[in-house]
Amino acid sequence: MEQLIISTVTAIFNGADERNWLKVQQAMAENVYLDYSSLSGNPAASIPAEQIVNAWKSFLPGFDRTHHQLSNFSVTVEEDTATIHFDGKADHFIDQDSWTVEGSYDATAVKENGQWHVSRLKLNLLRQSGDLSLPGKAAERI
């Protein structure tokens, strides 16, 4: 069961790297409490998965490619709810330049109709490195 939950979480990040937006959305609950405030400064909010995917697909393709690496998963399951903690590193590339975001994540997944879906995702930013102007360049390229 833990591996199924980890696979659901990794589908979000792998799907983003593959630009497979259906894969990303299918791994999410209908609404996701998304908290990237430690990176963006925007407040956490409950957002429809479709809206999250639309935001990501209007930004991430501005990079030539992205690569997410997830590790050190810890999963606790109580009935139809799983609490997941893991480490993440995301590399974003434009030409020879890169921007890297590192941190840990706290997530929750819920089992709905026999399938696990991520309902909460919080990034705990550890550090950023590389060209910090790359997100702006990616937005301009879209």
pLDDT 10s digits, 88-139:
999 999 999 999 999 999 999 999 989 999 999 999 999 999 999 999 999 9
Per the DSSP assignment, residues forming a β-bridge with 81 are: 78, 110
Residue 38 belongs to what H/E stretch? helix 37-40
Q: How many CB atoms lie within 10 A of CB 133?
A: 11
List Cα–Cα distances, 63 to 7, 58, 100, in angstroms: 25, 11, 12
Tokens of 30: 């209908």
Across the chain, mean pLDDT equals: 97
- Report the share of the chain in percent with pLDDT over 70: 100
The closest alpha carbon to 106, from 79, 82, 89, 80, belongs to: 82
Predicted local confidence at residue 5, as pLDDT: 97
* pTM confidence score: 0.95
Predicted local confidence at residue 84, as pLDDT: 98
Please identify which residue in the block is written with the tokens 């935001």: 55
Fold of 2-141: Nuclear Transport Factor 2; Chain: A, (3.10.450)
The pLDDT tens digits of the residues spanning 56-94 come to 999 999 999 999 999 999 999 999 999 999 999 999 999
